[in-house]
Amino acid sequence: MIFNRSKSMPDDVPATLDLDRIPKHVAMIMDGNGRWAKKRGMPRIAGHQRGMEVVKTVAKAAAEVGVEVLTLYAFSTENWKRPEDEVGFLMKLPGRFFDTFIPELKANNIRVEIIGDITGVPTDTQRVVLDAVAQTADNTGMVLNFALNYGSRAEIVTGVQEIATAVAQGELAVDDITENTVSQHLMTRQLGALADPDLLIRTGGEERLSNFLLWQSAYAEFVFTDVLWPDLTADIFFDNLITYQNRDRRFGGLVENKSNQK
Ligand code: FPP
């Protein structure tokens, strides 16, 4: 059954996936669209189009097993360096996605959130994205959090500027600046206690963070897979969750931390 948040095992979920130890926040770097298309003699944008369909598959699979936040790196601040036609296509993708997927998101209680500098994307894209956020604002299930025109270093710089301003204006003492202060000045603050990913998955074979959630990933588990994003399936996603469940999260301590253990 799709989107069943109960602990009963849906038919399509592997028995080895423990529904009591699902990572609350999963972040994903969706890499490999261009190579997927090239392998098929297709233009790169065909890979992005196929990648958009996979976003639907993964969002449904994540919600089905009880992930609470799914953050997807849809467009980075560095992606503007790509050819104009590719950037143009990527900016149209949110519109295509929400045109066809909003009813399912609403029906299944999924809330859309955005991190990134939304003011830097074309007005049409801003409008569809903010509309999706508004249309799903009352949903209480999984948060589908798109990182759009997002860059982690820029996010940290903005946060530092805000904190420095508060200090300069006498609203905050330097000694009162804590890790929590920094977290509260990052774009992920809207996710509250779920701001930091438990698991970060990157598809496409590269093993780097590419300016994604640098502060927030301090204690995330990383799973790198060679699978190209357009080839990702719900089964492969569930396998990645099982890999996470087999890790021993210690958060710098010596004893096994129980957050992903029974
Ligand atoms: C990286 O692959 C992928 C992107 C820059 C875009 C990711 C976007 C999607 C998967 C669709 C997003 C959907 C919505 C709804 C916004 P790449 O092009 O760098 O692949 P390559 O490394 O093989 O060239």
Q: In the chain, where do the E strands start and end? A: 25-29, 69-76, 111-115, 143-150, 199-202, 221-224
**Strand, coil or helix: 65:** helix
Pocket lining: 48 vs ligand 1, CB cutoff 6 Å = yes
Residue 3's pLDDT band (boundaries 50, 70, 90)? very low
pTM over 0.85: yes
Which domains, and CATH codes, for the chain? 22-150+197-243 (3.40.1180.10)
User: From the alpha carbon of 38, which atom of ligand 1 is closest?
Assistant: 23
Pocket lining: 30 vs ligand 1, CB cutoff 6 Å = yes
Question: Residue whose CA is closest, atom 11 of ligand 1?
Answer: 52
User: From the alpha carbon of 54, which atom of ligand 1 is closest?
Assistant: 10
CB 29 within 8 A of CB 228: no
Among 6-10, 61-65, 93-97, 118-122, the least confident range? 6-10
Inform me whether the pLDDT recorded for 71 exceeds 70.
Answer: yes
7-40 pLDDT, tens digit each: 566 778 999 999 999 999 999 999 999 999 999 9
d(CA 46, CA 22): 32
Closest CA to 24 of 253, 216, 255: 216
Q: How many A from CA of 181 to the centre of ligand 1?
A: 32
CB 191 within 8 A of CB 205: no
